[in-house]
Amino acid sequence: MFIRYRKKPHTLQILDALIPRIANNHKQLPKLKEYAARLQRGYNGERRLDYYLRSLTDEFYILNDVSLKIWNKDIQIDSLIISPHSFYMIEVKNFDGTLTFDTLQKQLIQTTRHQETSYTYPLTQADNTVYLMMQWLQQHQLPSIPIHSYIALADPSTVVRVQGDEEMIAKRVIRAEEVTLRMLQTEKACAARDEKNPQRRNQITNKIMERIKDFSVDVMEKYNIQENEIKKGTRCTECGGFNMIYYYGRWRCQSCGTSNKNAHEVNFHDYYLLYKDDITVSEAMEFLNMDDRYKTYRLLKKSNTIYYPQSKTWILKSDITN
Protein backbone atom coordinates (compact mmCIF):
# COMPACT_ATOMS: atom_id res chain seq x y z
CA MET A 1 0.00 0.00 0.00
CA PHE A 2 1.43 3.37 -1.02
CA ILE A 3 1.55 5.68 2.00
CA ARG A 4 3.68 8.33 0.27
CA TYR A 5 3.47 8.58 -3.51
CA ARG A 6 6.35 9.62 -5.71
CA LYS A 7 6.36 13.11 -7.21
CA LYS A 8 8.68 14.68 -9.73
CA PRO A 9 11.74 15.73 -7.67
CA HIS A 10 11.53 19.35 -6.55
CA THR A 11 15.03 20.04 -7.86
CA LEU A 12 14.00 18.73 -11.29
CA GLN A 13 10.92 20.97 -11.26
CA ILE A 14 13.18 23.96 -10.54
CA LEU A 15 15.47 23.02 -13.44
CA ASP A 16 12.49 22.59 -15.78
CA ALA A 17 11.36 26.10 -14.87
CA LEU A 18 14.84 27.64 -15.01
CA ILE A 19 16.36 26.19 -18.19
CA PRO A 20 13.88 27.82 -20.65
CA ARG A 21 14.45 31.17 -18.92
CA ILE A 22 18.24 31.15 -19.28
CA ALA A 23 19.95 32.67 -22.32
CA ASN A 24 21.14 30.12 -24.89
CA ASN A 25 24.72 31.33 -24.54
CA HIS A 26 24.76 31.20 -20.72
CA LYS A 27 27.92 29.38 -19.60
CA GLN A 28 26.02 27.26 -17.06
CA LEU A 29 23.28 26.12 -19.43
CA PRO A 30 25.03 22.87 -20.58
CA LYS A 31 25.60 21.87 -16.94
CA LEU A 32 21.99 22.66 -16.03
CA LYS A 33 20.73 20.53 -18.92
CA GLU A 34 23.05 17.67 -18.02
CA TYR A 35 21.90 17.82 -14.37
CA ALA A 36 18.23 17.87 -15.42
CA ALA A 37 18.73 14.90 -17.77
CA ARG A 38 20.39 12.91 -14.98
CA LEU A 39 17.57 13.66 -12.53
CA GLN A 40 14.93 12.85 -15.15
CA ARG A 41 16.57 9.52 -15.89
CA GLY A 42 16.67 8.71 -12.20
CA TYR A 43 13.01 9.69 -11.80
CA ASN A 44 12.04 7.48 -14.75
CA GLY A 45 13.85 4.56 -13.13
CA GLU A 46 12.10 5.13 -9.80
CA ARG A 47 8.70 5.14 -11.51
CA ARG A 48 9.61 1.85 -13.15
CA LEU A 49 10.23 0.40 -9.70
CA ASP A 50 6.85 1.76 -8.53
CA TYR A 51 5.16 -0.25 -11.27
CA TYR A 52 6.45 -3.48 -9.72
CA LEU A 53 5.84 -2.39 -6.12
CA ARG A 54 2.12 -2.12 -6.89
CA SER A 55 1.89 -5.90 -6.79
CA LEU A 56 2.70 -6.01 -3.05
CA THR A 57 -0.18 -6.63 -0.65
CA ASP A 58 -1.47 -3.99 1.75
CA GLU A 59 0.68 -5.48 4.51
CA PHE A 60 3.61 -3.64 2.94
CA TYR A 61 3.63 0.12 3.57
CA ILE A 62 5.46 1.92 0.74
CA LEU A 63 6.98 5.35 1.31
CA ASN A 64 8.68 6.98 -1.68
CA ASP A 65 11.25 9.79 -1.70
CA VAL A 66 12.01 9.60 2.01
CA SER A 67 14.22 12.37 3.32
CA LEU A 68 15.00 12.59 7.04
CA LYS A 69 17.67 14.32 9.07
CA ILE A 70 19.95 13.18 11.89
CA TRP A 71 23.03 14.94 13.27
CA ASN A 72 22.69 17.55 10.52
CA LYS A 73 23.01 14.79 7.92
CA ASP A 74 20.39 13.92 5.31
CA ILE A 75 19.00 10.40 5.04
CA GLN A 76 17.66 9.94 1.51
CA ILE A 77 15.89 6.76 0.40
CA ASP A 78 14.30 6.27 -3.02
CA SER A 79 11.78 3.72 -1.74
CA LEU A 80 11.22 2.56 1.82
CA ILE A 81 8.96 -0.44 2.41
CA ILE A 82 7.92 -1.43 5.93
CA SER A 83 6.31 -4.80 6.55
CA PRO A 84 5.13 -6.50 9.75
CA HIS A 85 8.51 -8.29 9.75
CA SER A 86 11.12 -6.06 8.13
CA PHE A 87 12.31 -2.72 6.84
CA TYR A 88 13.42 -2.55 3.17
CA MET A 89 15.47 0.29 1.71
CA ILE A 90 15.65 0.42 -2.09
CA GLU A 91 18.09 2.63 -3.99
CA VAL A 92 17.31 2.86 -7.71
CA LYS A 93 20.02 3.14 -10.37
CA ASN A 94 19.01 3.78 -13.97
CA PHE A 95 22.20 3.31 -16.01
CA ASP A 96 22.64 2.10 -19.56
CA GLY A 97 25.66 0.28 -20.93
CA THR A 98 27.77 -1.96 -18.69
CA LEU A 99 28.11 -1.57 -14.92
CA THR A 100 31.17 -3.01 -13.24
CA PHE A 101 30.99 -3.43 -9.46
CA ASP A 102 34.53 -3.54 -8.08
CA THR A 103 34.18 -4.93 -4.55
CA LEU A 104 37.92 -4.62 -3.86
CA GLN A 105 38.42 -0.96 -4.82
CA LYS A 106 34.84 -0.06 -3.79
CA GLN A 107 33.90 1.64 -7.02
CA LEU A 108 31.20 1.49 -9.67
CA ILE A 109 32.26 1.94 -13.30
CA GLN A 110 29.82 2.61 -16.14
CA THR A 111 31.03 1.79 -19.62
CA THR A 112 29.16 3.02 -22.69
CA ARG A 113 30.13 3.38 -26.33
CA HIS A 114 31.33 6.91 -25.66
CA GLN A 115 33.15 6.80 -22.33
CA GLU A 116 33.95 5.14 -19.02
CA THR A 117 32.71 6.87 -15.85
CA SER A 118 33.40 6.10 -12.20
CA TYR A 119 30.73 6.69 -9.54
CA THR A 120 30.56 6.58 -5.77
CA TYR A 121 30.21 2.95 -4.70
CA PRO A 122 26.45 2.47 -4.14
CA LEU A 123 26.81 -0.35 -1.61
CA THR A 124 28.93 1.83 0.67
CA GLN A 125 26.31 4.58 0.32
CA ALA A 126 23.57 2.09 1.13
CA ASP A 127 25.40 0.77 4.20
CA ASN A 128 25.92 4.31 5.48
CA THR A 129 22.21 5.00 4.98
CA VAL A 130 21.30 1.82 6.90
CA TYR A 131 23.53 2.94 9.78
CA LEU A 132 22.00 6.44 9.87
CA MET A 133 18.50 4.96 9.70
CA MET A 134 19.23 2.68 12.66
CA GLN A 135 20.45 5.70 14.62
CA TRP A 136 17.35 7.66 13.60
CA LEU A 137 15.07 4.90 14.88
CA GLN A 138 17.00 4.84 18.15
CA GLN A 139 16.91 8.61 18.48
CA HIS A 140 13.11 8.55 18.22
CA GLN A 141 12.83 5.64 20.66
CA LEU A 142 11.33 3.34 18.07
CA PRO A 143 11.56 -0.45 18.29
CA SER A 144 14.38 -2.19 16.45
CA ILE A 145 13.53 -3.93 13.19
CA PRO A 146 15.59 -5.95 10.68
CA ILE A 147 16.76 -3.68 7.85
CA HIS A 148 17.43 -5.00 4.35
CA SER A 149 19.02 -2.81 1.68
CA TYR A 150 19.02 -3.37 -2.09
CA ILE A 151 20.28 -1.61 -5.19
CA ALA A 152 17.62 -1.89 -7.92
CA LEU A 153 18.69 -1.59 -11.57
CA ALA A 154 15.84 0.00 -13.54
CA ASP A 155 17.14 -0.40 -17.10
CA PRO A 156 16.64 -4.05 -18.18
CA SER A 157 19.35 -3.70 -20.84
CA THR A 158 22.09 -2.89 -18.30
CA VAL A 159 24.90 -5.44 -18.31
CA VAL A 160 26.37 -6.20 -14.87
CA ARG A 161 29.94 -7.34 -14.31
CA VAL A 162 31.69 -7.97 -11.00
CA GLN A 163 35.32 -7.69 -10.01
CA GLY A 164 35.63 -9.44 -6.67
CA ASP A 165 32.84 -10.86 -4.53
CA GLU A 166 30.17 -11.98 -7.01
CA GLU A 167 27.97 -13.61 -4.34
CA MET A 168 27.73 -10.42 -2.29
CA ILE A 169 26.74 -8.37 -5.37
CA ALA A 170 24.13 -10.97 -6.35
CA LYS A 171 22.54 -10.61 -2.90
CA ARG A 172 22.37 -6.84 -2.90
CA VAL A 173 22.14 -5.74 -6.57
CA ILE A 174 18.96 -6.85 -8.35
CA ARG A 175 16.76 -5.91 -11.28
CA ALA A 176 13.79 -3.66 -10.54
CA GLU A 177 11.38 -6.40 -11.62
CA GLU A 178 12.96 -8.78 -9.08
CA VAL A 179 12.54 -6.52 -6.05
CA THR A 180 9.13 -7.74 -4.96
CA LEU A 181 10.07 -11.40 -5.36
CA ARG A 182 13.26 -10.89 -3.29
CA MET A 183 11.26 -9.13 -0.59
CA LEU A 184 8.64 -11.90 -0.46
CA GLN A 185 11.39 -14.51 -0.13
CA THR A 186 12.90 -12.54 2.76
CA GLU A 187 9.48 -12.16 4.38
CA LYS A 188 8.93 -15.92 4.20
CA ALA A 189 12.23 -16.54 5.96
CA CYS A 190 11.40 -13.94 8.62
CA ALA A 191 7.94 -15.41 9.18
CA ALA A 192 9.51 -18.76 10.01
CA ARG A 193 11.49 -17.11 12.83
CA ASP A 194 9.33 -14.27 14.14
CA GLU A 195 5.68 -13.38 14.58
CA LYS A 196 4.14 -10.53 12.62
CA ASN A 197 4.35 -7.15 14.31
CA PRO A 198 1.95 -4.75 12.53
CA GLN A 199 1.96 -2.41 15.54
CA ARG A 200 5.71 -1.85 15.11
CA ARG A 201 5.22 -1.23 11.39
CA ASN A 202 2.48 1.33 12.09
CA GLN A 203 4.46 3.05 14.84
CA ILE A 204 7.56 3.44 12.66
CA THR A 205 5.54 4.56 9.63
CA ASN A 206 3.66 7.21 11.60
CA LYS A 207 6.86 8.67 13.06
CA ILE A 208 8.58 8.79 9.66
CA MET A 209 5.56 10.54 8.11
CA GLU A 210 5.67 13.10 10.93
CA ARG A 211 9.34 13.89 10.28
CA ILE A 212 9.65 13.43 6.53
CA LYS A 213 10.54 16.40 4.32
CA ASP A 214 10.98 17.11 0.64
CA PHE A 215 14.60 17.20 -0.45
CA SER A 216 15.71 20.00 -2.76
CA VAL A 217 18.96 21.53 -3.98
CA ASP A 218 19.40 25.31 -4.21
CA VAL A 219 20.07 25.28 -7.95
CA MET A 220 20.55 29.05 -8.19
CA GLU A 221 23.31 28.99 -5.59
CA LYS A 222 24.87 25.75 -6.83
CA TYR A 223 25.30 27.13 -10.36
CA ASN A 224 25.69 30.80 -9.42
CA ILE A 225 22.61 31.97 -11.35
CA GLN A 226 21.63 35.59 -10.66
CA GLU A 227 18.01 36.74 -10.60
CA ASN A 228 18.65 39.32 -13.34
CA GLU A 229 19.73 36.46 -15.66
CA ILE A 230 16.25 34.90 -15.60
CA LYS A 231 13.98 35.86 -18.51
CA LYS A 232 10.64 37.45 -17.68
CA GLY A 233 7.48 36.93 -19.67
CA THR A 234 4.74 34.34 -20.11
CA ARG A 235 6.26 31.12 -21.42
CA CYS A 236 4.34 29.33 -24.17
CA THR A 237 3.38 25.82 -23.12
CA GLU A 238 3.90 24.57 -26.72
CA CYS A 239 6.97 26.21 -28.24
CA GLY A 240 8.59 27.49 -25.03
CA GLY A 241 8.90 31.04 -26.37
CA PHE A 242 8.07 34.18 -24.41
CA ASN A 243 5.83 35.89 -26.94
CA MET A 244 2.44 35.23 -25.34
CA ILE A 245 -0.04 38.11 -25.16
CA TYR A 246 -3.24 38.09 -23.09
CA TYR A 247 -6.42 39.48 -24.60
CA TYR A 248 -10.10 38.56 -24.72
CA GLY A 249 -9.62 36.05 -21.90
CA ARG A 250 -6.96 33.94 -23.62
CA TRP A 251 -3.21 33.77 -24.03
CA ARG A 252 -1.99 33.71 -27.62
CA CYS A 253 1.56 32.94 -28.68
CA GLN A 254 2.86 35.32 -31.32
CA SER A 255 5.49 32.75 -32.38
CA CYS A 256 3.57 29.50 -32.87
CA GLY A 257 -0.05 30.66 -32.71
CA THR A 258 -0.98 28.53 -29.68
CA SER A 259 -4.06 29.71 -27.80
CA ASN A 260 -4.37 28.87 -24.11
CA LYS A 261 -6.65 30.08 -21.31
CA ASN A 262 -4.40 28.95 -18.46
CA ALA A 263 -0.80 29.66 -19.49
CA HIS A 264 -0.46 31.97 -16.46
CA GLU A 265 -0.92 28.96 -14.12
CA VAL A 266 2.27 27.30 -15.39
CA ASN A 267 4.15 30.60 -15.24
CA PHE A 268 3.00 31.35 -11.69
CA HIS A 269 4.33 27.91 -10.79
CA ASP A 270 7.65 28.87 -12.42
CA TYR A 271 7.70 31.94 -10.17
CA TYR A 272 6.99 29.77 -7.11
CA LEU A 273 9.89 27.47 -8.00
CA LEU A 274 12.39 30.19 -8.93
CA TYR A 275 11.64 32.90 -6.39
CA LYS A 276 9.19 32.46 -3.52
CA ASP A 277 5.72 31.24 -2.64
CA ASP A 278 4.02 34.64 -2.48
CA ILE A 279 3.58 37.33 -5.12
CA THR A 280 2.10 40.81 -5.37
CA VAL A 281 0.13 42.16 -8.31
CA SER A 282 3.13 44.32 -9.30
CA GLU A 283 5.49 41.35 -9.20
CA ALA A 284 3.04 39.29 -11.26
CA MET A 285 2.79 42.08 -13.86
CA GLU A 286 6.57 42.19 -14.19
CA PHE A 287 6.99 38.40 -14.35
CA LEU A 288 4.19 37.83 -16.89
CA ASN A 289 5.22 40.96 -18.83
CA MET A 290 1.75 42.53 -18.55
CA ASP A 291 0.92 46.22 -18.45
CA ASP A 292 -2.66 45.99 -17.18
CA ARG A 293 -2.93 45.84 -13.40
CA TYR A 294 -6.62 44.91 -13.36
CA LYS A 295 -6.17 42.00 -15.78
CA THR A 296 -3.23 40.73 -13.71
CA TYR A 297 -5.35 40.97 -10.56
CA ARG A 298 -8.11 38.96 -12.25
CA LEU A 299 -5.63 36.27 -13.34
CA LEU A 300 -4.34 35.93 -9.78
CA LYS A 301 -7.87 35.81 -8.40
CA LYS A 302 -8.90 32.88 -10.58
CA SER A 303 -5.59 31.04 -10.26
CA ASN A 304 -4.54 28.37 -7.77
CA THR A 305 -3.76 31.01 -5.12
CA ILE A 306 -4.81 32.25 -1.69
CA TYR A 307 -5.05 36.00 -1.02
CA TYR A 308 -3.75 37.55 2.21
CA PRO A 309 -5.25 41.06 2.64
CA GLN A 310 -2.81 42.16 5.37
CA SER A 311 0.27 41.79 3.17
CA LYS A 312 -1.64 42.23 -0.12
CA THR A 313 0.08 39.14 -1.45
CA TRP A 314 -1.13 36.01 -3.17
CA ILE A 315 0.18 32.67 -1.92
CA LEU A 316 1.11 30.37 -4.79
CA LYS A 317 0.48 26.69 -4.17
CA SER A 318 3.12 24.08 -4.92
CA ASP A 319 0.87 21.53 -6.61
CA ILE A 320 -0.03 23.43 -9.80
CA THR A 321 1.99 20.98 -11.87
CA ASN A 322 3.13 17.49 -11.04
Same domain flag for 203 and 60: yes
Same domain flag for 146 and 294: no
Q: 257: alpha, beta or left, given left = phi > 0 and alpha = psi -120 to 50?
A: left
Same domain flag for 55 and 114: yes
| Res. 32: pLDDT tops 90 | yes
Same domain flag for 207 and 241: no
169 domain residue, yes or no: yes
182 domain residue, yes or no: yes
Please give the Cα distance from 233 to 290 (Å, whole number): 8
Q: Which of 153, 181, 211 is the last residue of a domain?
A: 211
Number of domains, the chain: 2
Same domain flag for 191 and 253: no
Per-residue pLDDT, averaged over 164-176, amounts to 93
Q: Which domain holds residue 111?
A: 2-211
Cβ-based burial of 267 (10 A; exposed 0-12, middle 13-18, buried ≥19): buried
Per-residue pLDDT, averaged over 225-246, amounts to 88
pLDDT of residue 9: 92
In this predicted structure, which of 37-41, 57-61, 242-246 has the lowest mean pLDDT? 242-246
147 domain residue, yes or no: yes
Same domain flag for 201 and 242: no
- CATH number, domain with residue 297: 1.10.10
226 domain residue, yes or no: no
Same domain flag for 257 and 113: no
Q: Which of 211, 240, 273 is the last residue of a domain?
A: 211
Same domain flag for 41 and 179: yes
pLDDT of residue 320: 44
219 domain residue, yes or no: no
Q: What is the pLDDT of residues 191-220, one digit of tens each?
A: 888 888 899 999 999 999 999 988 888 999
Q: How far is CA 75 from CA 68, 134, 171, in A?
A: 5, 11, 23
Same domain flag for 10 and 158: yes
Same domain flag for 194 and 299: no
Q: What is the pLDDT of residues 2-31, one digit of tens each?
A: 999 999 999 999 999 999 999 999 999 999
More reliable by pLDDT, 166 or 310: 166
Q: How far is CA 17 from CA 59, 95, 122, 274, 317, in A?
A: 39, 25, 30, 7, 15
Q: How far is CA 219 from CA 11, 24, 267, 275, in A?
A: 7, 18, 18, 11
Q: Which of 149, 177, 211 is the last residue of a domain?
A: 211
pLDDT of residue 34: 94
The confidence band for 321, taking pLDDT boundaries of 50, 70 and 90, is very low
**What type of residue sits at position 240?**
G
Phi, psi of 226 (to 5 degrees): -90, 150
57 domain residue, yes or no: yes
Cβ-based burial of 112 (10 A; exposed 0-12, middle 13-18, buried ≥19): exposed
Q: What is the pLDDT of residues 137-146, one digit of tens each?
A: 999 999 989 9
**What type of residue sits at position 195?**
E
Same domain flag for 122 and 246: no
The confidence band for 322, taking pLDDT boundaries of 50, 70 and 90, is very low
Helices 179-193/29-53 angle, 10° precision:
50
Q: How far is CA 74 from CA 128, 215, 263, in A?
A: 11, 9, 36
Same domain flag for 198 and 115: yes
Mean pLDDT of all residues in the chain?
Answer: 90
Q: What is the pLDDT of residues 88-125, one digit of tens each?
A: 999 999 998 999 999 999 999 999 887 888 998 999 99
Q: What is the pLDDT of residues 258-270, one digit of tens each?
A: 888 888 888 999 9
pLDDT of residue 319: 55
* Closest to 73 measured CA to CA, from 146, 5, 131: 131
217 domain residue, yes or no: no
| Res. 182: pLDDT tops 80 | yes
The confidence band for 135, taking pLDDT boundaries of 50, 70 and 90, is very high
204 domain residue, yes or no: yes
